[in-house]
Amino acid sequence: MEVRFRISKKLAPLSFVFLTSCTGVGQLSIQQERNQYNDVIHDTGTEQLLVNIVRAHNYESPSFFDVSEVDQTKTLQGNLQGGSSNIGAVVPLGALSSTLTATDSPIIKYMPPTSAAYIQQVIQPIDLASFAHFKNSNVPIEPYLRFAFDRLTPAYADFFRASAIISALDSFGAIRIDATSNDLIMIVLTPDGLIPSDAPCLNYRPANTVVADLWRQLTQIFNQPDSARVITLRTPRSKSRAGQVALARSALGALRMAERDEGPDVLFTDRSHAQEIRAENGIDEDENEAGDKDGYAKNGSRTDCLKGYDIEFYYLPERDSSPRKKWTEHFNLLKPSVLSLDTRRQLFRSLGHKRALIVIEDSETRPSDAYVSVARNGHWYSISNRDRVSKKNFALLGNLLLIQARPPSSGPTPTVIAQPITR
């Protein structure tokens, strides 16, 4: 009696279903795993930035490790074995066994910061043209100027006043930034089609009148006639002799602003103080997700100057001066005043050293509501998920480092073969 087993064809679809349930193939692989790899690379990159900020705070050298490529090899194996016994009997006996295996073997390629060309990229000044590109990307202007420029104005003490005026003009839609080259940019007055500022305290008069006064102040800072419609900034290496020389920071210089003795631009503090800073700047703890339609705290803690205004940094609370008082002074110094030029300059400079762009919370335990957190030397460092100001400026700093701190494409590529995953 001849006995034939025709089981393999019937079980083939079941084998395929089982294997593809463990690992995706083709289009299914992209659907299942693309976002997973994307999320992991993004999250670890964000953590790497925070670690480097903590290192800078402690005067340690930063380290950048870039994932340049991820290759994945998938292996699907199936094995069916059958046998029979008691051949010749009325009821033959048989046995069937199978083995199904799915294996992923990711190959991850890293680019370490070892070459001289890479180090040169990190210490090169940020291109002036980046200001135009970033402004067109709707980044917070005052934090950008602070991170990107070491010197912006003819008088060093005018930096904070000039950056506040440029930000105020931009809130009216009154300026554009033109980049003629990487070494030369122009701040151009565009007085047509103005919109009301999103800062209520700047709308004390018609927009064209306020913009005219702000522009007059800016031309005075840059030693230009009141009739000027363009302010030119250039680097020392620019071939043009016209315009104010602006000194941009390097990516490393921007990161070093987190050092302990560099002031509170990147502030390390405990959670309770961080909550106090947000509250006294008018950002309620529930504002991020449940503020009113104007975007300010439901408890009405903001002053009229800040209602509906999307703040770009925090003024810090002091015993004799609250952040709300500092914000009022900030906007009052932008208005026409009997104060002398030197007095305005010094008051803005004083305010500029009493503010934080990024608030990093230091705790002994891992926070449960962090936007990003890392453990280092027995401490947890984090940015609260409620802190939209710090999150925006943290992302801005990361983008500044990203455009500068890119490893060169040439040279050997170290390869790390991950442990195969068998399902």
Instruction: Give DSSP secondary structure letters for 152-212.
Output: -SSSGGGHHHHHHHHHHHHHTT-EEEEEEETTEEEEEE--TT----SSGGG-SS-HHHHHH
Q: Which pLDDT value is given to residue 111?
A: 63
pLDDT of 381 above 80? yes
**pLDDT for res 289:** 40
User: For residue 188, what pLDDT is reported?
Assistant: 95
Question: Quick one: pLDDT band at residue 201, thresholds 50, 70, 90?
Answer: confident
Using DSSP, state whether 11 is helix, strand or coil.
Answer: helix
Which tokens in the block code for residue 56? Answer: 């800078």
Under 8 Å CB-to-CB from 169, ≥6 apart: which residues?
Answer: 175, 189, 211, 214, 215, 218
C-alpha angle 360/171/223, rounded to 5°? 100
Flag whether pLDDT at 76 surpasses 90: no
How high is the pLDDT of residue 14?
46
- Residues of the chain with pLDDT > 70, as a percent, come to 69
Helix (H/G/I), strand (E/B), else coil: 26: coil
Q: What residues contact 73, with CB distance under 8 A and at least 6 apart?
A: 104, 105, 106, 107
Nearest to 240 by CA among 180, 153, 150: 180
Residue 149: beta bridge partners?
248
Alpha-carbon distance of 110 to 117, in angstroms, equals: 16
- 146, 314 in Cβ contact below 8 A? no
What does the alpha-carbon distance between residue 37 and residue 20 come to, in Å, rounded to a whole number? Answer: 19
> What's the CA gap between 15 and 395, in Å, rounded?
46
Q: Where are the beta strands (DSSP E) in 316-389?
A: 355-356, 358-363, 370-376, 379-384
Determine whether 344 is exposed, middle or buried from the number of CB atoms within 10 Å of its CB (0-12, 13-18, 19+).
Answer: middle
What mean pLDDT do residues 336-364 have? Answer: 94
What is the spatial distance between Cα 64 and Cα 398, in angstroms, rounded to a whole number? Answer: 12
Mean pLDDT of 341-354: 94
Whether 354 shows a pLDDT value over 50: the answer reads yes
Answer yes or no: are the C-beta atoms of 165 and 218 closer than 8 Å.
yes
pTM of the model: 0.78
